[in-house]
Amino acid sequence: MRFLLIIFFIVSCSSPSKYSLIGNIELDDNEKVFLVQMKDNRPLLIDSTSVNKGQFMFSDSIYFPEMHYLFFEKISGNIPFVLEPGNILIDIYKDSIRTSKISGTKSNQDWTDYLNETQIYTTELNNIQIEINQLLRTGDSILISDLEEQFKEVRGKLVKYEFLFMDDRKDSYISALILQRMIFERSIDFDKADSILNSFDKSLENTNPFVSVTNIIDNYKLSNIESPTIGSFAPKFTGPGIDGEIISLEQVKSKYILIDFWASWCEPCRIENPVLTNLMKSYSNDNFVIMGVSLDVSRDAWLKAIEVDDIKSWIHISNLEYFNGPIVKLYNIRGDVGIPSNFLINEERRIIAKDIKSDELEFILNSQLKNLN
């Protein structure tokens, strides 16, 4: 009997549970609704259905909570929500889709709370970023510097709130998502992330963000010694530029080079790009340049991001092979850790800093160049 109970327990823990998603929306009958999940930064269609008398429904089974998105045939935008066991209700406002109300399960209540309580920060950050982008066209460095400080201050308040959220809701799927995003953005060190992860409730252990963060930390501990380290010579490389020309690290004669790994789909990269460009304008090309190594797979997306972010002054290289590119592998840029990632090298072509933000980069450059003069 005890043996049978153990088998039942194992089967029960590994069995999926039912979910039901009902959406209310003012759309004509037969309008299509799509249930989508993001896999490796690409949309994956899970299911589709049609509106009937102002309502639609999805039902199936799922093992653990997962972030999903609702897309509509004739409405722009999407609705992010947590698909999980239970009954989920979404009241959709087609004219303001992101204000739609999600209810019915714990993770979606946590998600709603998070969005509502961070809206003041995200709105202000977006407004500041818009102002910075506008000022970059005029070159008003004083105002840009002031706005960058405001951005850091507001960003700091948001991060403080997120740490409090994770500490207060250790059993929340949203907490695991926040930690996963932080570690992808490299905005948290591995020791602190490991400590937070270990404080989470055991109910999260099989969710994708928890497993992802666990693997990142474990792999980092195992393979970090294989990555190019501060003090070592930067691995030499060559790669195709924007026009297909072959560019090598050796041919760049600047005293200091920032090798920056980025991609058009990396939001933290895109936010940092204009800031790095503005910093680069403070130095001559003889003193400092940026080599951007893109992890894009689409040439069009790569070139469009260069144009939109106004980073044409960089030296650009890409094999268009995602995390499989030879330069990406040479510098041990791994998909489980993510980007942005960068390496600052000096005249001797030794690595003197790694994964630094613009303010730290500026401090290092100023102190190093001052010593050379």
pLDDT score of 372: 60
pLDDT score of 212: 87
Tens digit of each residue's pLDDT (9 = 90 or more) over 2-41: 444 443 334 344 467 999 999 999 998 999 999 999 876 6
Tens digit of each residue's pLDDT (9 = 90 or more) over 306-338: 999 999 999 999 999 888 888 998 888 887 778
CA 337/CA 39 separation, integer angstroms: 16
127-to-76, 218, 265, 277 alpha-carbon distances in Å: 22, 38, 21, 20
Structural domain includes residue 279: yes
* φ and ψ of 54, to 5 deg: 75, 15
CA 242/CA 316 separation, integer angstroms: 6
Q: How confident is the model at residue 370 (pLDDT cuts 50, 70, 90)?
A: confident
Structural domain includes residue 30: yes
Structural domain includes residue 12: no
Structural domain includes residue 3: no
pLDDT score of 227: 65
DSSP 8-state secondary structure symbol assigned to residue 235: P
Full domain range(s) for residue 322: 232-371
Handedness of CA 265, 46, 175, 158 (dihedral sign): positive
pLDDT score of 10: 40
Say which range, 40-44, 59-63, 177-181, 282-286, has the weakest mean pLDDT.
40-44
Structural domain includes residue 236: yes
Regarding pTM above 0.85, the answer is no
Say which range, 201-210, 213-222, 306-315, has the weakest mean pLDDT.
213-222
pLDDT score of 221: 66
| Peptide bond preceding 340 in cis form (omega within 30 of 0) | yes
Looking at the chain, the whole-number percentage of residues with pLDDT higher than 90 is 57
59 and 45 fall within a common domain: yes
99 and 166 fall within a common domain: no
35 and 158 fall within a common domain: no
Average pLDDT value over all residues in the chain: 88
244 and 323 fall within a common domain: yes
Tens digit of each residue's pLDDT (9 = 90 or more) over 143-191: 888 888 888 899 899 999 999 999 999 999 999 999 998 888 777 888 8
Q: How confident is the model at residue 371 (pLDDT cuts 50, 70, 90)?
A: low
Structural domain includes residue 2: no
